[in-house]
Chain A
Amino acid sequence: MATVGESRKACAVNPLKMSQPLGACYAFMGIGNCMPMMHGSQGCTSFGLVLLVRHFKEAIPLQTTAMNEVSTILGGMENIEQAVLNIKKRANPALIAIASTGLTETKGDDVDGFLRLIERKHAEALAGTRIVYVSTPDYVGAFEDGWGKAVLALVEAFVAPAPTRNPRQVNLLPGCHLTPADIDELREIIEAFGLEAIVAPDLSGSLDGHIPENFTPTTLGGSTLEQLGRMGASIASIAIGARMTAAATALEDRAGVPCRVFDRLTGLGAVDALMRYLTELSGNAVPAKYRRQRGQLQDAMLDAHFWIGGRRFAIGAEPDLLHTLAHTAHEMGAEVCAAVTTTQSPVLAGLPCEDVLIGDLEDLETRARATRAEILVTHSHGRQAAARLGIPLLRTGLPMFDRLGASHVLTLGYRGTRELITQWANALLEAEHSAAPQDWPLPPESAAAAQGGACGTGCGCDSALLTE
């Protein structure tokens, strides 16, 4: 059990956190033929875009209502109207998904009201394009909150009760800490049980790094609105990460689809639980492939525990990812000596460490130093801290801008767990200190004693010389 504290500093140094609207827009990128847009000044969008480009090394569709000083004071109705019409004309997306920002929230724009007016006024021009809005001020919560709210907004906009259920169909609601590869892996697991998954949002279709046949200004893939509309006919919803509880329960409330939230799917026991659940759900036995992978994971755990066991991990991540990493490390025998996160979450209290702090990377660095951490696990922004601490950095989560392959990192299922712990072990192995002759100097007293206990007796010997 961990006590949850909040950094009492006035100034955040080396932020771990990213903003809510960016998290929301990131979720919208998992919807097919969609144009995500921030309602705010253009800098916010530009920063978010650059961040995601650097992470994925992919073109990122993201628009702005381009608010300025004057339009902010007057209210953003006109800018939203223009933006929506512009986007419709240029890209004709199936969905325009809008997230507010600190600026427009501070002004107090009634975007829901604006949108009702706009949709009425331009019903014809906007035919064939849906609009979804989510309120995400920058000064509240973090990236993960924005993602959760966006998925909830999608459920509320598109899910309706279905007259009949499709006994093979399940919904999959991934948290923002899942990579496109993670989503792919999960889908494959589900399909291996003879089920079929509707993923919302599905980044594995849009941000998995592929070369499309043609150029498109909107998202490159992802779940379609038609699929979202069919979610009410599923037999169950599987949500990953506590942050997804709200969207999963909303689905249950709206369409009566029972939900199961897995707080993580990394670690032997966690994946076992998924396998059991899918067996129940589908009536099919665990496929041979996963029985074999389970054996491989066990073997990797045995191999890796020599290196990970007893080692001190400092982890900085958003709550659901932190929860996943900390428990997995703990299960491998590591000690989580420092944990820092970005926003409140029910998972924090259950972390396997003494305390967890809602803070920044400076806090993580300070704590890592104080507790003599041996490995730092956080996003790429931890690189300066790791260099100063002289310990390896295991880049995990977003942004990962100084490495390639961010979308193909796999961390869940038996296979992903195996990859994750192997990486940890390898990093620790590489950082292994090779012993040198001067590593274990005798204390001067001992050396002196060995010389006949001469020291401190006034014999005039220089004990410092003895250890040189």
Chain B
Amino acid sequence: MSAKIQDVFEEPACEHNQQKSAKEKKKGCTKQLSPGAAAGGCAFDGAKIALQPIVDVAHLVHGPIACEGNSWDNRNSTSSGSTLYRTGFTTDINELDVIYGGEKRLFKSIREIIEKYDPPAVFVYQTCVTALIGDDIEAVCKKASEKFGKPVIPVNAPGFVGPKNLGNKLGAEALLDYVIGTEEPDFVTPYDINIIGEYNLSGELWQVRPLLDALGIRILSCISGDGRYREVAYSHRARAAMMVCSKSMINIARKMEERYDIPFFEGSFYGIGDMSDTLRQIARLLVERGAPDDLLGRTEALIAIEEGRAWERIASYRSRLEGKKVLLITGGVKSWSVVSALQEAGLEVVGTSVKKSTKEDKEKIKEIMGLTEQDSAHMIDDMTPREMYAMLKEARADIMLSGGRSQFIALKAKMPWLDINQERHHAYAGYEGMVGLVREIDKALHNPVWEQVRRPAPWETAACTGAA
């Protein structure tokens, strides 16, 4: 286990890592968490986030009720078919299991799932308590695979080994070790790509897929959004790969390049310029790997039309959004990729978080926002809830875009808020998505509810105090 974690930490392709000294690298990305001042997800959470979008698999959580009972069915990763991934499976171990070990219960659980649901595979997630009592899920999975003639995949990422982000990578390792390369596709084409680290939240993959379809590019496997077990198993036959989020599954992209000679690039579906770059890169990589080179021209033609359409639609909001101030608090990953769309709509970005951004990301933000060194107040490393509240309350920002965690800070300050994190219910990918984002901001800002909730109570106004 710890060797695996070390391996993941030393991921050479991680930009973050390249900037660290050897000593820093050793420490890995598990920043020591501060007790009493932290509340992120755990590694198990991360592994589950990464793999659960494989929709036809049974995801079995081996641990007490806390890990699955408190969390299942809480994501908007969408499926175009099977809904098995939305079923919560857990061994829900009890006191006796803690004393005598939970391996027997785990084995029986796998059997029950296979008998009742007959999925193409079962993924078994390790959690803190079962790791601590020493349950060997690898051994149980191996035995179960042999016995039932079906892949049973151990995902060894108990919560206490680190944060969500580490869990994403450990989840990815499980795919590398046990799934990828174990099956063959029915046929291959020179236009086959993998998309890695895209979870199809709110169906975002489907905002992008039509563009690829139009170009004749086939997504051989999306790891893991709307994925199927078999697709992941034969993903090693793709010609090229796109990695959507380097912070989550870069190990898959890099190791597949190493093992199967599949070149990859890191791209984003967020932001208009980024979407176009992504299409260009996919086309370029495929042509380099032997696809006919008319693909390049066709791609440019598509980009020209789609960009024009998107900018036109965004600009139509300009008169309504001109000069409104946005506070952008994301996980920090690629926050710059939406900044230009917001600016095009006339919005002013008064602050953006850079907590998880790399140096390069930060430079980009400065460039796009036209910031000088002194302006770095606009780049927020870590903002306390109190500061966010004050900023909104004093109307230094008109709307906050953030994850659900901070939504109530805005709402309690009676200010508009828009969800741009993983729990969101709107899809913001591709050209469609950016137009959608601006539309949602417009809706939020101009909702008549704001004027009403800010109105003073009748008894707070002079007419009602009885003074008159």
**B161 interfacial by beta-carbon distance below 8 Å:** yes
Known contacts A10-B91, A15-B72, A137-B95; decide if A63 and B39 are in contact (CB<8 Å). yes
Would you call B98 and A139 a contact (CB within 8 A)? yes
Known contacts A12-B90, A72-B132, A139-B129; decide if A85 and B36 are in contact (CB<8 Å). yes
Question: Which residues 66-85 in A have Cβ within 8 Å of B in the complex?
Answer: 66-69, 72, 79-80, 82-85
Question: Which residues 134-169 in A have Cβ within 8 Å of B in the complex?
Answer: 137-140, 142
Interface size for chain B: under 10, 10 to 19, 20 to 34, or 35 or more residues?
35 or more
Would you call A139 and B97 a contact (CB within 8 A)? yes
| A67 surroundings in chain B (CB, below 8 A) | 35, 160
Would you call A102 and B69 a contact (CB within 8 A)? no
Known contacts A41-B159, A384-B83; decide if A215 and B33 are in contact (CB<8 Å). no
Question: Which residues 194-236 in A have Cβ within 8 Å of B in the complex?
Answer: 211-212, 215, 217
Would you call A140 and B94 a contact (CB within 8 A)? yes
Instruction: Give bound CA distance, A40 to B70, whole Å.
Output: 15
Stretch at the interface among A43-51, A332-340, A453-461: A43-51
Known contacts A41-B160, A68-B162, A139-B129; decide if A14 and B88 are in contact (CB<8 Å). yes
**A449 interfacial by beta-carbon distance below 8 Å:** no
Instruction: Give bound CA distance, A17 to B40, whole Å.
Output: 23
Known contacts A18-B65, A22-B66, A215-B386; decide if A106 and B129 are in contact (CB<8 Å). yes
Instruction: Give bound CA distance, A86 to B36, whole Å.
Output: 6
| B70 surroundings in chain A (CB, below 8 A) | 18-19, 22, 44, 47-48, 51
Stretch at the interface among A53-61, A249-257, A272-280, A423-431: A53-61
For residue B44, which residue of chain A has the nearest CB?
A: A43
Within the complex, what minimum Cβ distance (angstroms) separates B105 from chain A? 5
Instruction: Give bound CA distance, A84 to B37, whole Å.
Output: 10
Stretch at the interface among B263-271, B366-374, B407-415: B407-415
| A48 surroundings in chain B (CB, below 8 A) | 66, 70
| A106 surroundings in chain B (CB, below 8 A) | 98, 129, 132-133
Instruction: Give bound CA distance, A347 to B413, whole Å.
Output: 44
The residue that B69 contacts in the complex, of A11, A15, A46, A63, with Cβ under 8 A, is A15
| B92 surroundings in chain A (CB, below 8 A) | 11-12, 15, 17, 360
Question: Which residues 89-117 in A have Cβ within 8 Å of B in the complex?
Answer: 90, 101-103, 106-107
Tell which of A17, A47, A87, A217 has the most Cβ of chain B within 10 Å: A47
Instruction: Give bound CA distance, A401 to B35, whole Å.
Output: 28
Within the complex, what minimum Cβ distance (angstroms) separates A160 from chain B? 29
Within the complex, what minimum Cβ distance (angstroms) separates B196 from chain A? 24
**A64 interfacial by beta-carbon distance below 8 Å:** yes
Would you call A211 and B412 a contact (CB within 8 A)? yes
For residue B116, which residue of chain A has the nearest CB?
A: A13
Contacts between the two chains (Cβ within 8 Å), count: 222
Instruction: Give bound CA distance, A451 to B450, whole Å.
Output: 73
Known contacts A102-B63, A138-B65; decide if A59 and B37 are in contact (CB<8 Å). no
| B404 surroundings in chain A (CB, below 8 A) | 50, 53
| B317 surroundings in chain A (CB, below 8 A) | none
Stretch at the interface among B106-114, B220-228, B246-254, B305-313: B106-114
Known contacts A12-B89, A40-B128; decide if A215 and B39 are in contact (CB<8 Å). no
Would you call B35 and A217 a contact (CB within 8 A)? no
| A139 surroundings in chain B (CB, below 8 A) | 64-65, 93-95, 97-98, 129
Instruction: Give bound CA distance, A139 to B90, whole Å.
Output: 12
**B42 interfacial by beta-carbon distance below 8 Å:** yes
Instruction: Give bound CA distance, A176 to B94, whole Å.
Output: 22
Would you call A21 and B385 a contact (CB within 8 A)? no
Instruction: Give bound CA distance, A138 to B61, whole Å.
Output: 14
Would you call A46 and B60 a contact (CB within 8 A)? no
| B45 surroundings in chain A (CB, below 8 A) | 43, 46-47
Instruction: Give bound CA distance, A10 to B38, whole Å.
Output: 34
Contact with A along B66-97 (1 / 0, CB 8 A): 11111111100000000100111111111101
Instruction: Give bound CA distance, A137 to B45, whole Å.
Output: 19
Within the complex, what minimum Cβ distance (angstroms) separates A212 from chain B? 7
| A87 surroundings in chain B (CB, below 8 A) | 36-37
**B43 interfacial by beta-carbon distance below 8 Å:** yes
**A37 interfacial by beta-carbon distance below 8 Å:** yes
Would you call A42 and B40 a contact (CB within 8 A)? yes
The residue that B35 contacts in the complex, of A9, A64, A101, A215, with Cβ under 8 A, is A64
For residue B94, which residue of chain A has the nearest CB?
A: A139
Tell which of B71, B105, B111, B112 has the most Cβ of chain A within 10 Å: B71
Would you call B389 and A215 a contact (CB within 8 A)? yes
Question: Which residues 364-388 in A have Cβ within 8 Å of B in the complex?
Answer: 381, 384
Contact with A along B108-131 (1 / 0, CB 8 A): 111111001000000000001100
The residue that B33 contacts in the complex, of A37, A40, A42, with Cβ under 8 A, is A42
Within the complex, what minimum Cβ distance (angstroms) separates A74 from chain B? 12
**B30 interfacial by beta-carbon distance below 8 Å:** yes
Within the complex, what minimum Cβ distance (angstroms) separates A28 from chain B? 15
**B34 interfacial by beta-carbon distance below 8 Å:** yes
Within the complex, what minimum Cβ distance (angstroms) separates A106 from chain B? 5
Instruction: Give bound CA distance, A68 to B389, whole Å.
Output: 31
| A41 surroundings in chain B (CB, below 8 A) | 42, 128, 159-160
**A62 interfacial by beta-carbon distance below 8 Å:** yes
**B185 interfacial by beta-carbon distance below 8 Å:** no
**B163 interfacial by beta-carbon distance below 8 Å:** yes
**A179 interfacial by beta-carbon distance below 8 Å:** no
Known contacts A19-B64, A103-B128; decide if A37 and B95 are in contact (CB<8 Å). no
Would you call A14 and B128 a contact (CB within 8 A)? no
Would you call A107 and B91 a contact (CB within 8 A)? no
Within the complex, what minimum Cβ distance (angstroms) separates B159 from chain A? 4
**A65 interfacial by beta-carbon distance below 8 Å:** yes
Would you call B128 and A102 a contact (CB within 8 A)? yes
For residue B45, which residue of chain A has the nearest CB?
A: A43
| B290 surroundings in chain A (CB, below 8 A) | none
For residue A50, which residue of chain B has the nearest CB?
A: B74
Would you call B109 and A72 a contact (CB within 8 A)? no
Within the complex, what minimum Cβ distance (angstroms) separates B402 from chain A? 13
Instruction: Give bound CA distance, A57 to B410, whole Å.
Output: 13
**B292 interfacial by beta-carbon distance below 8 Å:** no
Instruction: Give bound CA distance, A215 to B95, whole Å.
Output: 41
Known contacts A102-B128, A107-B132, A140-B94; decide if A45 and B39 are in contact (CB<8 Å). yes
Within the complex, what minimum Cβ distance (angstroms) separates B352 from chain A? 21
Within the complex, what minimum Cβ distance (angstroms) separates B362 from chain A? 27
| B95 surroundings in chain A (CB, below 8 A) | 137, 139-140
Question: Which residues 258-311 in A have Cβ within 8 Å of B in the complex?
Answer: none
| A54 surroundings in chain B (CB, below 8 A) | 74
Instruction: Give bound CA distance, A42 to B30, whole Å.
Output: 13
Would you call A10 and B108 a contact (CB within 8 A)? yes
- Chain A residues close to B by CB (< 8 Å): 9-15, 17-19, 21-22, 37, 40-51, 53-54, 57-59, 62-69, 72, 79-80, 82-87, 90, 101-103, 106-107, 137-140, 142, 211-212, 215, 217, 360, 381, 384, 401
Q: List 24 A-B contacts (CB under 8 A).
A: A9-B112, A11-B108, A15-B88, A18-B65, A42-B159, A43-B43, A43-B159, A44-B42, A44-B66, A44-B70, A45-B39, A46-B41, A53-B405, A59-B412, A63-B37, A65-B36, A72-B160, A83-B36, A103-B132, A138-B63, A138-B65, A211-B412, A217-B386, A401-B74
- Chain B residues close to A by CB (< 8 Å): 30, 33-45, 60, 63-74, 83, 86-95, 97-98, 104-113, 116, 128-129, 132-133, 158-163, 385-386, 389-390, 404-405, 408-409, 411-414, 453
Of all A-B residue pairs in the complex, the 8 with the closest CB atoms, nearest first, are A43-B42, A83-B36, A11-B109, A10-B108, A86-B36, A83-B35, A138-B64, A59-B408
